[in-house]
Amino acid sequence: MTPVLIVLIIFGSIASLFIVPRYFKSVERQKMAEALRAAIEKGQPLPTEVIEAMSSNVRPAGLPPSPQRDLRTGIIWLGIGVGFACFGAAVSFEDADALYPMLGIAALPIFIGAAFIALGLLNRTKP
């Protein structure tokens, strides 16, 4: 029972790193939308700061990803893969059979990262 609990805690904490910030951002946007709706219903003018704040984090649709963004994404994926490989090496001191499966798991994010880095380098604008 304890190993299952440990695995659930590890994966739950990893998932919470992505889910919790998105949840709070969603709640904040919902409250902002309700406040704007109430202001519009009362006939109050909307300040330009509010409109700029709401549209500042919005990426226009249809724009191709930039090479710089591809490089950043690739480096992040590469770091995740190297982290899995290091974790496998650390676990292999206790259990030698754990190294190869962890290296196999690490290979997927490493190759994804390498592909993003290649895209970022190949798509640079030439002077």
87 and 102: one domain?
yes
Residue 75's pLDDT is 94
Q: What is the pLDDT of residues 34-85, one digit of tens each?
A: 888 888 888 887 777 777 776 666 666 556 678 888 899 999 999 999 999 9
Question: Residues 114, 107: contact at Cβ < 8 Å?
Answer: no
103 and 49: one domain?
no
Q: How confident is the model at residue 115 (pLDDT cuts 50, 70, 90)?
A: very high
47 and 69: one domain?
no
* Distance (Å) of CA 45 to CA 38, 40, 49, 54: 11, 7, 12, 15
Question: Residues 88, 101: contact at Cβ < 8 Å?
Answer: yes
Query: Which residue among 58, 77, 100 closes a domain?
Result: 58
Which residue, chain included where needed, has tokens 């994926």? 77
Q: What is the pLDDT of residues 78-89, one digit of tens each?
A: 999 999 999 999
Q: How many domains does the chain contain in total? A: 2
69 and 54: one domain?
no
Q: How confident is the model at residue 18 (pLDDT cuts 50, 70, 90)?
A: confident
Range of the domain at 46: 1-58
74 and 101: one domain?
yes
34 and 74: one domain?
no
